[in-house]
Chain A
Amino acid sequence: EDQVTQSPEALRLQEGESSSLNCSYTVSGLRGLFWYRQDPGKGPEFLFTLYSAGEEKEKERLKATLTKKESFLHITAPKPEDSATYLCAAMDSSYKLIFGSGTRLLVRP
């Protein structure tokens, strides 16, 4: 069965303390791996798409990487405004998106 697992469930960081979020996937015929940011009570906001192992993408303090089994979202020197839930989703061979349960990130000043 196709599955996406995110860890940790919750992460508390001090402002400036870098860390990584993990997204492990078992999906047949992976077409792409997506990262979204979701603020409380809002819809997810698209961050990155990764298509193949070894690919990396960056945006401000965020960097996403992809291997054959997992993806990482690295957060460098985070700020309080980076606090949100980060969702990853894998697209399978039928173009269906399978979401993980998310990592709730809290960055304290």
Chain B
Amino acid sequence: DGGITQSPKYLFRKEGQNVTLSCEQNLNHDAMYWYRQDPGQGLRLIYYSQIVNDFQKGDIAEGYSVSREKKESFPLTVTSAQKNPTAFYLCASSPPRGVTEAFFGQGTRLTVV
């Protein structure tokens, strides 16, 4: 089955630690995205990548970093510089530039303890 796999489903982080969220897709999509979702708010774009070895900041990139070394993978690192990292993180992918829908993974819920 083609799809997007995010892991882990739940993640707990101590303050001051960096953590990395995994996102893998086998849809052969060029574009991949990371969104953050907080209760009562819409999805906010963190980073996106249209092609391997290239990525751009979204609206709330501070305190986050990404890499895109392979077409299938787009990991997100939440660094200690992110002041309020507790949230639901969603990864998505879509075909390259076009008015097509984005397909989402099942999300990772990150909690700072």
Contact = CB atoms under 8 A, between A and B. Distances in A.
Interface of A: 4, 9, 31-32, 34, 36, 41-46, 49, 51, 87, 89, 91, 95-97, 99-102
Interface stretch (B11-19, B38-46, B60-68, B74-82): B38-46
A41 B107 contact: yes
A91 B99 contact: yes
A96 B97 CA distance: 10
Contacts of A45: 104
A31 B99 contact: yes
Contacts of A95: 97-99
Given A41-B107, A96-B45, A34 B101 contact: yes
A102 B103 contact: no
A46 B45 CA distance: 18
Nearest to B106: A43
B104 A43 contact: yes
Contact of B43 (A9, A41, A87, A91): A87
30 contacts: A32-B99, A34-B102, A41-B109, A42-B107, A43-B4, A43-B6, A43-B90, A43-B92, A43-B104, A43-B105, A43-B107, A44-B104, A45-B104, A46-B101, A46-B102, A49-B99, A49-B100, A49-B101, A87-B42, A89-B43, A91-B99, A95-B97, A96-B45, A97-B33, A97-B45, A97-B102, A99-B42, A99-B43, A100-B42, A101-B40
Nearest to B4: A43
A102 B101 CA distance: 17
A23 to B, nearest CB: 11
Given A51-B99, A100-B42, 7 more contacts: A9-B40, A41-B109, A43-B92, A46-B102, A87-B43, A97-B33, A102-B42
